[in-house]
Structure 1
C-alpha cells in the first residue's frame, strides 16, 4: 500500500505541475490507469449542450480508435458519472440497466470505475476506467486514488485556466500597446485601423474581422443609414474597403449596437456561426465598430472573448482619442505660428515695402531722364506685385486653419472669386466624399485650382471653362479645361512649375496639354489619404 501511495503522490505531482489543459488530461488518464491497474482509461471533456467535446483514451490502439469513430453519447452510465459527486463502481456494467451509450466497435468491458472531474464546483468531464487486470473488480482504494487524482486535476485545470487567462490578458495589453505606439509615432489612422482589425483577428481566433466607421465619424441615434468599411482581415474582401454597409440588414444591426454583443448563433442561412460586435465609443460618440465572425466549424465565441474584446476596444478608443488630441494640439501650434508669420508680414514687411515704393515714387518725380523714370516705374510695379503676393500669402496663412471650412465650400469660393466679374461661361463638376481628405492635401487642391483657374481667366482669352474636381478610388483629381488660345511656348512657367512641385511633394502628377481644337487642359492628381474618424 505504501508503494501505491507513493506512486499516487508522484502522479498527483505530475498532474498539478502542468499548465496546459490537454497535458493535464493526458497525464490524468495515464496516472489513473497505472495506479488502479486498469486496462482501459478515458477522460471525457464535457462540451456544450451536454456533448463530448473531447475524449482522451489510454489502452486503445489507433486502429480501434479509428473503428470507434464518433465520441460516445453521454447518457446511460457515462451520464450517471457526470451527475454524481462520488465515484461509481460496477463489477459488471453489461448487466446494469444504464449500460448503454457506447459506440459500435467498442472493446468489451465488464468492470468499471467512473469519477466526475469538477473545477470550482462545475463539471469539467469524467474519468472512466475499465477492465482491472486479471478480471478483478475495482476496489474502494482504487476509487479513493482515482478521486484524489481527479481532485488534483481539477485544481490543475483551474490553475491552467488562470495562467492562460493571464497570458491572454498580457497578449491583449501588448496589442493595445503596439497600436498606441503606432498612433503616437504618427502612423496614418487608416493603417492603425487595419492594425486594430488584424490584432483582434489573431487574438480572438476569429475567421473574419471587419472594422466599420460612420460616414461622418459620429453615429448618433438614427442619424445615419450606413457605415463605411475602414479595415478588413479577409484578403478576398480587400476591394470592399471604403464601401458602405446598410444598417437595415443583419450586419448593420450588429454594427448599430452601442454596447458589446455576443451572438452564439447567427441567423439561419448566414455563412458564419457566432459573432462579436464591439463598439469603439466614448461619451455617446461611436468612432468605429469591430465585428468579428467565426465559422460553424470552430467553437463559438464565449463570455471571455466578449470581456477581453470589450477591454481591447476601450483601450483602442482611448489611444485614438489621445492621438486625435495630440494632432489637434500640433495643428493649433501650426495655426499659432501661421498667425505670427502673417502678422509679421503684414505689420513689418508690407509697411517697409510701401515705404520703399513711396521713396521710389518721390525719386521718379524729381528725375528728368526718361530712361531712369521708366526703370523706376518698373521697380514700383514690381514692388506693388510683391505686396499683392505677400497679401495673398497672409490671407492663405490666416485662412489655413485646419477644418475651418469644408473643402467643397473653399473650392466654390475660389471659383466665384475668380469668375464672378467675367463673362466666361463656367461649368463645374465636384464629386466625392471630401470630408475624408487629409488637411494638407486639401490645401494643395485649393492652391492648384486657384492657380489653374487664374491662368485660364487672365491669360487664355477663354469663352468657356470646365472645372472637374473628383475623389475616386482614393485619388484626388483637379482638372481645368478652357477653350482659349493655349499656352505659348515662350510663356513664363513659374505658376506651372509650382503646381508640378506640389504634385511631387504628394507623389502625384501634373499634365498640361494644348488641345487641337484650341485651349488648354490641365490635370493635377494625387493619391488621397483619408483623415481619421473623429
Structure 2
C-alpha cells in the first residue's frame, strides 16, 4: 500500500499528466513522473510502431547529449520485446543476468535493476514504461547502519532492484497514464478534424469564388473576340475587364492556397507557421485572430519548437475557455531575446485560484517548455480583463 507521501506523489503525477494536452507532452510527463515517483535513476517510455520498433521513445535521467550518443531508437528485442508481446509487467534484480538480455549499444549506461510496465487501453498496448536502477531512499539523517545496509532503507548497499510495492505503484500510474494518453490522442484528433473541416470549407470557397470569376472571364473574353472586327474600342474595354478578372482570380487563388498549405517549421520558420495557423483559426472561430512579426530573428530549432507549442497552447486556452472577441499573437525582439506574446480580451481568470483548484490549463506544460530551452514564461490575467501569455527565449 502506498504511504501518505506516496499517495501525494501519485496525486502530483496525475495532476501533471492531466494538465497537458499535446500527446508528446503527455508522454514526457508520464516518463518523468514514473522516474520521480519510484526514485529510479533512469526511465523510458516506448510507443510501439506495430512493425517491431518504436514510433516514439522518450527518456528521463539522461542528458540530450548522452541520448544522442546511444544512437537510433531501440528495436523491440530481448526483455522489451517479451514484455510487450505478453503485455505483462517484468521485474528483475539484474537485467544483465536475465537470459533474454541481448546487450546495449556502446554508449549506453550500465543498468541492473529493471521494472517494466505496459500501458494498456483494454488489450491494446499504448506504450510501455521501463525503469532502471532503484536509488536509495533519501534519509532524513546521513547515517549508515552497522549491518551494511543503506541509510534507513533496510536494503543492502548497491542494491538497485525494485520491490513489489514499486511494481504496484507503477501499475497504478500506468492505468492513469492510459487515460491521460487516450484523452490527449482524442483531443489531438479532434484538432486535426477541426483543421481538416476548415480546410474543406476553404476549398469549397475556392471552388465557388474562383470558378465564378473564371466563368465571367471566359464570357468576357468571348465577347471581346466577337467585337474585335465590329467595334475595336469596345473590344479593348472588354479585354481590360478580362485582365482585371484574371488578376482577381489569381489573387483569390493565391490567398486560399497559402491558407490551405500546411507550413512546416523546419522549412518555413516559426513566423510562417504562426501566420498560417492563425489565419485558419481566424476563419474557424468567431474571434478575430491576428498575427504580427516584428523581425525576431531565428532563436534556434529547439526554441522555435518550444515557442510554437506554447503559442498553440495559449491560443487553444483562449479560444476554448475565454470567449474572446480578439486574440493577438506577436513575435518581437527584446535585446538578445525573442519574445512571443499571445493576448486575448476574454474572460480571464485568477491564476492563484486556478492553482489552488488544481486546474492548470496547460500552464505547467508551458512553463516547463520555456525553462527547458533556457527561457521564461509570464502569465498575466484577472477575471474580466483578459490574459497575456509572454514567453522570452535567448536568440542564437
Scaled by the length of structure 1, the TM-score of the pair is 0.39
**1:505 corresponds to:** 241
**1:187 corresponds to:** 210
Equivalent position to 2:232, from 490, 496, 500: 496
Structure 1: tracts of 5 or more residues without a match: 192-326, 332-436, 452-494, 509-525
Is 1:446 the counterpart of 2:226? The answer is yes
Change (3 A) 1:442 1:80: same
| Displacement after TM superposition at 1:65 (Å) | 1.5
Supply the distance in 2 between the matched residues of 1:125 and 1:101 (Cα, whole angstroms): 22
**1:39 corresponds to:** 41
Equivalent position to 1:148, from 163, 172, 186: 172
CA deviations on 1:79-103 (whole Å, 9 max, x unpaired) are 1121233311001111111011532
Task: Check whether the contact 1:84–1:116 (CA below 8 A) recurs between aligned residues.
Answer: no
**1:114 corresponds to:** 116
| Displacement after TM superposition at 1:137 (Å) | 1.8
**Which stretch of structure 1 is more off in the superposition, 173-182 or 68-77?**
173-182
5 Å-filtered alignment, 1:377-392, equals none
Change (3 A) 1:149 1:498: same
CA deviations on 1:44-67 (whole Å, 9 max, x unpaired) are 121241212222111112332232
Equivalent position to 1:166, from 168, 190, 194: 190
**2:12 corresponds to:** 10
Equivalent position to 1:80, from 79, 82, 97: 82
Supply the distance in 1 between the matched residues of 2:171 and 2:18 (Cα, whole angstroms): 14
CA deviations on 1:264-303 (whole Å, 9 max, x unpaired) are xxxxxxxxxxxxxxxxxxxxxxxxxxxxxxxxxxxxxxxx
Task: Check whether the contact 1:87–1:114 (CA below 8 A) recurs between aligned residues.
Answer: yes
CA deviations on 1:8-37 (whole Å, 9 max, x unpaired) are 122123213321111111111111111111
| Displacement after TM superposition at 1:159 (Å) | 0.8
Scaled by the length of structure 2, the TM-score of the pair is 0.51
Q: Secondary structure at the match of 2:88?
A: coil
Supply the distance in 2 between the matched residues of 1:114 and 1:75 (Cα, whole angstroms): 14
| Displacement after TM superposition at 1:187 (Å) | 3.4
CA deviations on 1:480-532 (whole Å, 9 max, x unpaired) are xxxxxxxxxxxxxxx43333333333349xxxxxxxxxxxxxxxxx99x89xx
Q: Secondary structure at the match of 2:129?
A: strand
Give the structure, 1 or 2, with the largest relative contact order (CA under 8 Å, sep 6 or more): 2
Q: Secondary structure at the match of 1:131?
A: strand
Change (3 A) 1:507 1:66: closer
Supply the distance in 2 between the matched residues of 1:42 and 1:158 (Cα, whole angstroms): 19
5 Å-filtered alignment, 1:299-338, equals none
Q: Secondary structure at the match of 1:115?
A: strand
| Displacement after TM superposition at 1:40 (Å) | 0.6
| Displacement after TM superposition at 1:72 (Å) | 1.8
Task: Check whether the contact 1:51–1:74 (CA below 8 A) recurs between aligned residues.
Answer: yes
Supply the distance in 2 between the matched residues of 1:507 and 1:57 (Cα, whole angstroms): 60
Task: Check whether the contact 2:118–2:125 (CA below 8 A) recurs between aligned residues.
Answer: yes
Change (3 A) 1:504 1:19: closer
| Displacement after TM superposition at 1:183 (Å) | 4.9
5 Å-filtered alignment, 1:58-137, equals 58-100=60-102, 102-134=104-136, 135-137=159-161
**2:21 corresponds to:** 19
**Which stretch of structure 1 is more off in the superposition, 146-155 or 78-87?**
78-87
| Displacement after TM superposition at 1:164 (Å) | 1.2
Q: Secondary structure at the match of 2:210?
A: coil
Supply the distance in 2 between the matched residues of 1:189 and 1:158 (Cα, whole angstroms): 45
| Displacement after TM superposition at 1:120 (Å) | 4.5
CA RMSD of aligned residues (A): 2.9
Structure 2: tracts of 5 or more residues without a match: 137-158, 251-396
**2:285 corresponds to:** none
Task: Check whether the contact 1:118–1:124 (CA below 8 A) recurs between aligned residues.
Answer: yes
Supply the distance in 1 between the matched residues of 2:45 and 2:13 (Cα, whole angstroms): 16
Q: Secondary structure at the match of 2:110?
A: coil
Task: Check whether the contact 1:112–1:128 (CA below 8 A) recurs between aligned residues.
Answer: yes
